[in-house]
Amino acid sequence: MIRKLLIVFAAFGAALGASACSYGSAVDIAPMNARIAKPVIAPGDYCEVKGETAPFSVISKEDCAPVIWNAATRTYTMKDPDKPAEDMTAPVIKLDGTLYAVQFTTPDAKGEDRYQLLTFIASGNAFVMISPLDDEPLKALTAKTKKVTFKPANDGRPYIAAGKPEDIRAFLRAAAQESLRTRKKDDDVSVGVRDIAGAPDHSAGKQQQKDIEAVLAAMKALTPK
């Protein structure tokens, strides 16, 4: 079973096998010296939050996901307790303020879109993933991005073929903003917050509410007018 929070986390597993769930790249933008050196969210169990305004409900009874930080490799691992073989490990880089990118290496990939990139907002011990652009909006944005070279992958979706890391980061920031700008008003926003897996569902605590509201405020601030 794919846990709800894994879906919230932009379907990390699917991102490794379906480029439409992420941004493909032939360029490694997360070598060791570019990775965050300290965890942006604390290790622990992360559970889904219901609601976009207080009071928030934390769905902790089931479908939470343990998140582990490895200081030596500067990577996060999101574990699926039901399927250990589907654990996903990846480094994170900072894009700007509370906006970050996570980079996965596609298993057995050879060049082209070997890496898969996703963007997310984090504050305190809460985060929200930003949906990757669909093919057509992505093509429109890549056509306006002059400092990064894009090529079509086998499925026709553009991937990053070449570019300086700073220019790729700028592209990812623009993609995140465009995704938020075109987000439909009735699209659900699913926030993950640190909690205790298996505990009864409950109202968010004071610190949890503060972190959730900070993430939602950052998301609003990043959305173009």
- End-to-end CA distance of the chain: give it in Å, rounded: 38
Ranges of each domain in the chain: 4-222
pLDDT at 12 over 60: no
Q: Give me the pLDDT at residue 21, please.
A: 77
Taking only the tens place, the pLDDT of each residue in 186-196 is 677 789 999 99
Could you give the CA distance from residue 16 to residue 108 in angstroms, rounded to a whole number?
11
Could you give the CA distance from residue 122 to residue 128 in angstroms, rounded to a whole number?
7
Are 50 and 200 in contact by the 8 Å Cβ rule? The answer is no
Q: Give me the pLDDT at residue 181, please.
A: 93
Could you give the CA distance from residue 25 to residue 22 in angstroms, rounded to a whole number?
10
Are 118 and 29 in contact by the 8 Å Cβ rule? The answer is no
Could you give the CA distance from residue 7 to residue 215 in angstroms, rounded to a whole number?
18
Q: Give me the pLDDT at residue 79, please.
A: 77
pLDDT at 163 over 80: yes
Buried b (16+ CB within 10 A) or exposed e, 166-176: ebbbbbbbebb
Could you give the CA distance from residue 111 to residue 88 in angstroms, rounded to a whole number?
20
Radius of gyration of the chain (CA): 17
Q: Which residues contact 185 (CB under 8 A, 6 or more apart)?
A: none
Q: Give me the pLDDT at residue 20, please.
A: 56
Taking only the tens place, the pLDDT of each residue in 32-68 is 999 999 999 999 999 999 988 999 999 999 878 889 9
Taking only the tens place, the pLDDT of each residue in 197-218 is 999 999 999 999 999 999 999 9
Are 140 and 9 in contact by the 8 Å Cβ rule? The answer is no
Q: Give me the pLDDT at residue 51, please.
A: 87
Q: Give me the pLDDT at residue 144, please.
A: 97
Could you give the CA distance from residue 142 to residue 130 in angstroms, rounded to a whole number?
18
Task: Reduce the DSSP state of residue 67 to 3 states and report it.
Answer: strand
Q: Give me the pLDDT at residue 18, please.
A: 45
Taking only the tens place, the pLDDT of each residue in 169-184 is 999 999 999 999 998 7
Provide the whole-model pTM.
Answer: 0.90
Are 178 and 142 in contact by the 8 Å Cβ rule? The answer is no
Positive/negative CA dihedral, 58, 60, 62, 63: positive
